[in-house]
Amino acid sequence: MGLFDIFRGADINEGVAHFQQTTGAQLIDVREPNEFADGHIPQSKNVPLSKLATIEVVVPDKATPLFIYCASGARSGRALGELKQLGYANVTNIGGIATYRGKIER
C-alpha cells in the first residue's frame, strides 16, 4: 500500500470479485431505478438509497454479507452508514460502477 492509496476509493472490480467468492452474499445497487435500468452489474439487486429502509424485503437476514455500490461511491458510502444503523453488520462499500470493467446487464 502506497502513501496515496488512502485517498483512492474502493476498487469496484476487486469488490465484485470478493462478492463472487463470498457464500450467501448479496450485491446491492443503491442507485435510482432509472440508473439501474441503464446498466448494472449482473446478480445485483436494486435498493435505491432513497428507499433503503425497505431493504429487509430484499435481504431479511441482517447477517447476510452485503456488497453495495452506486455510480461513484458517494451514495454507497452513505448507504453503508444507514445499513449499519438498520442492524446490518457485514456491509462493504465497493465503490462506483463508473470504474467497473466487467459485464453490464440492462
Average pLDDT value for the chain: 93
Per-residue pLDDT, averaged over 26-52, amounts to: 98
Give whole-number Cα distances, 7 to 10, 15, 96, 100, in Å.
Answer: 10, 17, 15, 18
For residue 1, what pLDDT is reported?
39
For residue 10, what pLDDT is reported?
81
Per the residue annotation, which of 10, 41, 55, 70 is the catalytic one?
Answer: 70
For residue 8, what pLDDT is reported?
52
User: Does 92 have pLDDT greater than 60?
Assistant: yes
For residue 21, give the nearest of 43, 39, 40, 6 by alpha carbon: 43
**pTM value?**
0.92
- Residue spans per domain, the chain: 12-99
Of the two residues 5 and 92, the one the predictor is more confident about is 92
Q: Please give the CATH number for the structural domain made up of 12-99.
A: 3.40.250.10
**Single-letter residue type at 55:** I
Query: Is position 70 annotated as part of the catalytic site?
Result: yes
| Exposed e or buried b per residue across 57-68, where buried means at least 16 C-beta atoms within 10 angstroms of its C-beta | eebeeeebbbbb
